[in-house]
Structure 1
Amino acid sequence: MEPIEIRFNIDWPGFSLAVDEQLPGRGVTALFGHSGSGKTTLLRCIAGLVRAPKGRLVFQGKVWQDASTWVPTHRRSLGYVFQEASLFPHLTVIGNLRYGQKRAPADIPAEQRVSLDQAIDLLGILPLLDRKPDRLSGGERQRVAIARALAVSPRILLMDEPLAALDLARKQEILPYLERLHDELAIPVLYVSHAPDEVARLADHLVIMDGGRVLASGPLAATLARLDLPIRLGEDAGVVLEGRITERDTRWHLLKVDCGGVDLWVRDTGVPTDHPVRVRILARDVSIVLAPVAGTSILNTLPARVLSLGEDAHPALALVQLQAGQSTLLARLTHRSADHLGLAPGLPVWIQIKAVALL
């Protein structure tokens, strides 16, 4: 798929946006950063809800905006999901979906159309069709809002922190449906978030923003493992690895995951053998030793090599970038410990991973 070309410059009192990037034309791209970093403004520029002078936007080879072209929002063949569901209160769920369906452009080929039945199935909302929005939970309303955006048969889906208004339980309820969108739909998704756990679970490509600028843009795993970014994730610093289930230990209810030559044991969640999975390893859960430790309760102990050392959010702490197999990991430790161990690029070490989350 052709990349999405974006170039926007905005200079408002107290805020400026300057972005010149090429984003992947498929998969989920997360626009990530703290509040006020410019994520939503960028998304609204892409949607045509904010008009950036002298901007340029090319999607699937078609110019949506440049010096001589301006395609209005309703002709951009996109679906937009806001933080709040914004459903029509006087319509039932099916009424809201049919409203979205009426907005589907007539020129979309049949094979690219998302049917109402497909949208209903993807978001699991069949039992809700006859209800009005005031009879839905927050998670249910947001699932309906996403289904309505899909009913437009968009060529791209824009999602502006769709889980921000939900509590933890409702977020956990809706995340599997967002994963289904990722797995079953071919359309690209731009997903705005400031929540590292959402990004780790959903994104393929990561764009990190701060102060209206792009600090980094690249594949999720490689970008999370970088040490040269001024934005600090604190307790959320860590990496995401792609892997595959290779073994099931039925006695101890564990799964073995091969992540690029690194075998990790995780809790058995019922995922079938040979199934692709994603695991998240936080830097705070990785410790470093110079030789294997006997008599430890930690299952995942691996040989590794130090790649580089960097600063963490607190001056007492360091982040260590490590190579294990084909995978890059991060470990957090004090500068004192790093000095005591003599850590330096190229040093062979052993790492102990206290926790691995299967996403």
Structure 2
Amino acid sequence: MSAVAGLEVELEQAGPIPLAAAFSCAPGEVLALVGPSGSGKSTILRSIAGTYRPRGGSIRVGGACWFSAGEGIFVPPHRRAVGMVFQSYALFPHMSALGNLVIAMGQRPAPEREARARGLLELVHLAGLEDRRPAELSGGQQQRVAVARALAREPKVLLLDEPFSAVDKATRQRLYREIAELRRGLEMPVVLVTHDLEEAAMLADRMTVLHRGRTLQTGTPEEVTTRPVSAGVARLVGLRNLFEGRLAAPRQADGKATLDWAGLVLETAGGLEGAPGRPVTWVVPDGFVVLHRRDRPSRGEHENPIPGIVDTLLVIGQTAHLTLRPDHDPRLPIHFSVPLHVARRNAVARGVAATVSLLSEGIHAVAPTPEAQEAGG
């Protein structure tokens, strides 16, 4: 991405809030910042908005410098074209939906503001509710007013700070669809702060994983959640099938390599380098764990079959979440999930014998970085 085109962020400081974050976001792109509480997500958002001044780094938007510690540049918040949506909405309670938008349009000539405000309310499906005050709107409707108000400022960057956490699940799902539809017409970078990985996967083009203010990995949601760069990232994105092994045979001409996992040899599709016996930290997302069917063989059952005993079965809605204790080492549980009807069809229950396959394409070596233990704590 050209530095002139979108948002470029590099922030550094030792304290009081540690920061070592760097990422970019192109116009029309949604970038999700994810990480646990205290990972620096909101501080980074405040830095972009100008309500927090870091000690080091720079922020550039569309070729303009909003902050540079080295150059002594700090553009105050009111001069930054930022649209921001908070989880608390922050609407003026004494104003109508229309009034909340009009007041945000100081950059437009007064005669144009009402027509533009009505157009934005129509864009977020609130036409006809212009005269209602926030207390007369549902949580989802208030959220849409907040989004429209943020867009009313004609921002160069749109910042969303946990924007859906205050609404119920059904409303949240509806807002996801509406935001996904709305974002097609947005031409500015959009930065979304969320602790919800499912939300990030649904709305974001890319996601940046943060831990204690440090950028650990940036990539598409699929890349980050299936090919984490380190054990720390794997833990932070909820991958529980994280194991230690040793390289049995390095990459062959076909790109495949084999791992020794507690005496069991596994085939991998990835190219593992090094000498046999080298320690390897590896992960397999539960989507690459295939339960063997009792009625007929499934695709992938020939790959890395692991027999064992079902240790736990938790049913949530129409999904069965399972833990298998492998026969070769019950101390290394494998976690995975299947549709509930699949579990019932195969008579899966706690204490019964079952076999799974670990698909070779899903086995991924990661760096056993120091933040692994910190993130897992």
- TM-score over 0.5 for the pair: yes
Q: Residue type matched to 1:147 in 2?
A: A
Q: Distance in 2 between matches of 1:178 and 1:90?
A: 26
Structure 2 equivalent of residue 5 of structure 1: 8
Which string of whole-angstrom CA distances, capped at 9 and with x for unpartnered residues, describes residues 292-330 of structure 1? Answer: 98647x8xx579989xxxxx9x9734589xxxxxxxxxx
Structure 1 equivalent of residue 44 of structure 2: 42
Q: CA deviation at 1:115?
A: 3.4
- After superposition, residues 121-160 of structure 1 pair within 5 angstroms as 121-160=122-161
Q: CA deviation at 1:200?
A: 1.1
Structure 1 equivalent of residue 162 of structure 2: 161
2:104 to 75, 100, 103: 100
Q: Distance in 2 between matches of 1:96 and 1:217?
A: 35
Q: How many residues align?
A: 269
Q: Distance in 1 between matches of 2:142 and 2:132?
A: 10
Q: Distance in 2 between matches of 1:160 and 1:342?
A: 37
Structure 2 equivalent of residue 74 of structure 1: 78
Structure 2 equivalent of residue 195 of structure 1: 196
Sort the Cα spacing of 1:319 and 1:211 in 2 relative to 1 into closer, same or farther, 3 A. farther
Q: CA deviation at 1:156?
A: 1.3
User: What secondary structure sits across from 1:87 in the alignment?
Assistant: coil
Q: Distance in 1 between matches of 2:94 and 2:200?
A: 34
Q: Residue type matched to 1:95 in 2?
A: G
TM-score, normalised to structure 1, is: 0.65
Equivalent pair of 1:75/1:105 in contact (CA under 8 Å): no
Q: Distance in 2 between matches of 1:341 and 1:176?
A: 35
Equivalent pair of 2:209/2:217 in contact (CA under 8 Å): yes
Q: Distance in 1 between matches of 2:206 and 2:101?
A: 30
Q: CA deviation at 1:285?
A: 5.0
Structure 1 vs Structure 2 CA RMSD: 3.7
Q: State the identity as a percent.
A: 32
Q: Distance in 2 between matches of 1:234 and 1:174?
A: 24
Q: Residue type matched to 1:198 in 2?
A: E
The yes-or-no answer on 1:178 pairing with 2:182 is no
User: What secondary structure sits across from 2:146 in the alignment?
Assistant: helix
Q: Residue type matched to 1:40 in 2?
A: S
Which string of whole-angstrom CA distances, capped at 9 and with x for unpartnered residues, describes residues 26-83 of structure 1? Answer: 3100011111111110011011110112331111111111123221112111101111
User: What secondary structure sits across from 1:7 in the alignment?
Assistant: strand
Q: CA deviation at 1:10?
A: 3.2
Unaligned ranges ≥5, structure 1? 238-281, 307-311, 321-336, 348-359
Which string of whole-angstrom CA distances, capped at 9 and with x for unpartnered residues, describes residues 205-236 of structure 1? Answer: 11011111111012332222214331323379
Unaligned ranges ≥5, structure 2? 242-283, 305-322, 326-330, 337-352, 364-377
Q: CA deviation at 1:193?
A: 0.3
TM-score, normalised to structure 2, is: 0.62
Equivalent pair of 1:196/1:236 in contact (CA under 8 Å): no
Equivalent pair of 1:58/1:64 in contact (CA under 8 Å): yes
Sort the Cα spacing of 1:340 and 1:157 in 2 relative to 1 into closer, same or farther, 3 A. closer
Sort the Cα spacing of 1:185 and 1:90 in 2 relative to 1 into closer, same or farther, 3 A. same
Structure 1 equivalent of residue 332 of structure 2: 316
Structure 1 equivalent of residue 32 of structure 2: 30
Q: Distance in 1 between matches of 2:35 and 2:139?
A: 24
